[in-house]
Amino acid sequence: MPVSSIEIDPPGDPIVVGAYDRPSFLRRADAWVRLNGVTFIGEVLIIWVLVESFQYLGYGGQPGQAQGGPPFPVTMLMAALAMGAGEARFRLYRRVWSVAGLSDAMAVGLAVTEASFLLTVANALMPAYQRPYRLAVPLLATPAIVIGIGLFRLLPRLLSRVPASGNRLLVVVQDSTGYATVKALAQHPNPDWKPVAIVTHQLNEQHKTVLGIPVLGNVGALDDWLKESQADGVAFVLAGTPVAEQRDLISICLAAKKPIFILSVADQWFPERRARPMRQLSADDLVGRTQRKLELEEAGELIRGRTVLVTGAAGSIGSELSRLLAKSAPRRLVLLDDNESGLFDISEELMVDAKFDMRSALISITERDSLLGVFAEERPEIVFHTAAYKHVPLLETHPVQAFNTNVLGTQNVIRCAEASGVKNLILISTDKAVARHSVMGCTKRLCEEMILAYQGEMACWAVRFGNVVGSRGSVVPLFEKQILQGGPVTITHPEMTRYMMTIREAVALVVSSLVIARPGHLYMLDMGKPINIASLARDLIRSRGLRPGEDIKVVYTGLRPGERLTEELLAADEGVRPTINPAIMEVVSPVSVNQQDLDWTIERLTQLARDGRADQLDKALKTAVREVGRRQPVEEPSPKRTKHSEVAPSDGG
């Protein structure tokens, strides 16, 4: 059609939407018959056959006794009208039978009871010589009809329980409350796994069943139950119990080379709870950190109604910290990062439920003028400084970038915070600052020294901790990706160990430091015992039901530049003393930082960075943190030292 021939409605005319035309009665009846006709005919036949059988077998009279009455079409019509009335009242035709439950079974029973009652009444109203049945026959046949139609209606439900594959799942529950989750799993089967047996922590539960799934016995004999049930995998229903408390049971499953899953409790299987019904065992679980009861109420009061700024908000720690801070109802939360995509993602996530003013600042901490503008405009009262470069091997070949971001960036944050009247500044540090062996570790040690040397009105302190499981660039996501791809899993050295904790625990303890920290001090989180990286990788492989070295190859690549076999939490000149929080230790040292010497050192390193003399900067940086900028204190108490730089136990545990 030519363009000139197209008629266009003049602008402003209302758009008329056609009214909904309800289908005629005949069309609706035709649609109902197409959808439910076969099922309804089956129900009518079941009623008719059973009532006729009861009549023939002599219920309410003599077997085989002849009863004069209407012909077959009339009795079939009576059964159809009676069942139709019962079905209409209880709306059996509107129910989805593939997911039928107890209420649906009760509806079937009530519908059949009504149909039998109507059939009895119709039969009784007929003259005696024309009755098709003896008076009691329809009522006597009712239980059999309920069973027959119930099985007929529930057949789709029974068939839906047969999963697509034959993978057998043994479910471990804490107590009888976990049976609801097993029931939900059986009613909504995973396409790859079906529950075939249950073991429990409770005694005297043997020989019970949940929807036909047997309770074998107590978890103390898990080895035997794995063999008896011929399970292909194991799922744990924890219901709030930390995974770390199941470590012995998980070890048995790993030794048996069974894939391991964690089942959320049934009441969390909803989108708003954001919980997956069944997930694979994760590295967080394998790290085995015992869950702490973290008291954040007091720290939350210090955040509530205040303006809080997070640098590096798009990073692993920064984003998790931002999520936690958002729950404490700050007046304003300012997210600062130069990672555009990451900053957008965390901002959009928090905006969904935000009940506070939220701002995003796409700025690098190395841009001092722009950074000062953000601080001047937002006027934050609390600053969490997490922004830093952290990849050790990469920074060994980029010392200038590492120094500019980690050292000069931190200096910019401190000066801008002081100029804008910030009350509290918390620096996130790392255990790599202890050895002062790598470029990254040396830059973070200089950051710690800047906090220790600061003597202005702002309250500053640093919190040091080790690796966090699942952070970007850590080994755990790399291992999981390599396993998913079929291997090989690459490990630098079979003896490499690292201190590890979960991101959630780390950021919660950082926030908790608001309550106990003193200005100009360094704190360290209780990291527990170091974890062998090779063992962690092998356990991850086994938790997927695979065999290390056979199904998934393990390759040792050797240490990379700047890496060490082990990390320490304390330097040779450091010790610890407990705080009121047993998970947070104060790091003390017989020497302290001289502000003037530190300023001179940073200025000298800055000049090397400006000139692009990377090799000289590398050497000067590592020398500076070991020898420069210290003086002997007079008032500092003698620190406690522990063997092999392990954390000394506090009075609180």
Rounded to an integer, the average pLDDT of 445-457 is: 92
> Could you tell me if 333 and 460 lie in one domain?
yes
**pLDDT for position 376:** 95
Q: How confident is the model at residue 375 (pLDDT cuts 50, 70, 90)?
A: very high
pLDDT tens digits for range 203-221: 777 777 887 788 888 888 8
**Domain limit, last residue, from 117, 142, 159:** 159
> Could you tell me if 352 and 252 lie in one domain?
no
Q: Range of 112's domain?
A: 29-159
pLDDT tens digits for range 190-206: 667 888 888 888 877 77
Report CA 536 to chain centroid distance, whole Å: 20
Domain contains 542: no
**pLDDT for position 578:** 92
Domain contains 535: no
The secondary structure of 325-365 as a DSSP string is HHTT--SEEEEEES-HHHHHHHHHHHHSS--SEEEEEE--T
**pLDDT for position 135:** 81
Rounded to an integer, the average pLDDT of 66-88 is: 75
How high is the mean pLDDT of the chain?
A: 80
Tell which wins on pLDDT, 273 or 41: 41
**pLDDT for position 273:** 45
**pLDDT for position 166:** 61
Statement: residue 7 has pLDDT above 80: no
This prediction's pTM: 0.69
Cα separations (Å) of 560 from 19, 372, 438?
72, 37, 11
> Could you tell me if 353 and 447 lie in one domain?
yes
Q: Contact 169/193 with Cβ under 8 angstroms?
A: yes
**Domain limit, last residue, from 236, 255, 281:** 281
Share of the chain above pLDDT 90, in %: 29
Domain contains 37: yes
Q: CATH code at 225?
A: 3.40.50.720
Domain contains 534: no
> Could you tell me if 124 and 195 lie in one domain?
no
Statement: residue 302 has pLDDT above 60: yes
Tell which wins on pLDDT, 623 or 246: 623
**pLDDT for position 98:** 64
**pLDDT for position 69:** 62
**Domain limit, last residue, from 256, 281, 306:** 281
Domain contains 378: yes
pLDDT tens digits for range 581-610: 888 999 998 777 888 888 999 999 999 999
**pLDDT for position 408:** 95
Rounded to an integer, the average pLDDT of 282-308 is: 77
Cα separations (Å) of 334 from 221, 347, 388?
53, 10, 17
600 three-class SS: helix
Statement: residue 276 has pLDDT above 70: no
> Could you tell me if 191 and 57 lie in one domain?
no
Statement: residue 548 has pLDDT above 50: yes
Domain contains 286: no
Rounded to an integer, the average pLDDT of 321-340 is: 93
> Could you tell me if 415 and 451 lie in one domain?
yes
Which H or E element spans position 155? Answer: helix 142-160
**How far, in Å, CA of 562 to CA of 391, rounded?**
10
> Could you tell me if 315 and 333 lie in one domain?
yes
Domain contains 488: no
> Could you tell me if 313 and 425 lie in one domain?
yes
Statement: residue 460 has pLDDT above 90: yes
The secondary structure of 436-486 as a DSSP string is --SHHHHHHHHHHHHHHH--SSSEEEEEEE-EEET-TTSHHHHHHHHHHTT
What residues contact residue 49 under an 8 Å CB cut-off, 6+ apart?
none
Statement: residue 410 has pLDDT above 70: yes
CB atoms within 10 A of CB 471: 17
Statement: residue 63 has pLDDT above 60: no
Q: Which residue has the tokens 């990672």?
A: 339
**pLDDT for position 158:** 64
**pLDDT for position 398:** 94
Q: How confident is the model at residue 19 (pLDDT cuts 50, 70, 90)?
A: very low
CA distance between the termini of the chain: 85
Statement: residue 653 has pLDDT above 50: no
pLDDT tens digits for range 122-161: 888 888 777 788 888 888 888 888 888 878 877 766 665 5
Domain contains 350: yes
**pLDDT for position 645:** 34
**Structural domain tally of the chain?**
3
pLDDT winner (highest mean) among 68-72, 144-148, 352-356, 420-424: 420-424
Share of the chain above pLDDT 70, in %: 81
- Give exposure, 186-197, as e/b (b: 16+ Cβ within 10 Å): beebbeebbbbb
Q: How confident is the model at residue 362 (pLDDT cuts 50, 70, 90)?
A: very high
Rounded to an integer, the average pLDDT of 304-309 is: 94
Q: Contact 383/311 with Cβ under 8 angstroms?
A: yes
Rounded to an integer, the average pLDDT of 485-508 is: 88
pLDDT tens digits for range 560-585: 888 888 888 888 888 899 999 888 99
pLDDT winner (highest mean) among 262-276, 277-291, 401-415, 430-444: 401-415
> Could you tell me if 153 and 171 lie in one domain?
no
> Could you tell me if 115 and 181 lie in one domain?
no
> Could you tell me if 311 and 275 lie in one domain?
no
pLDDT tens digits for range 278-294: 777 777 777 756 555 56
> Could you tell me if 189 and 303 lie in one domain?
no
Rounded to an integer, the average pLDDT of 72-89 is: 81
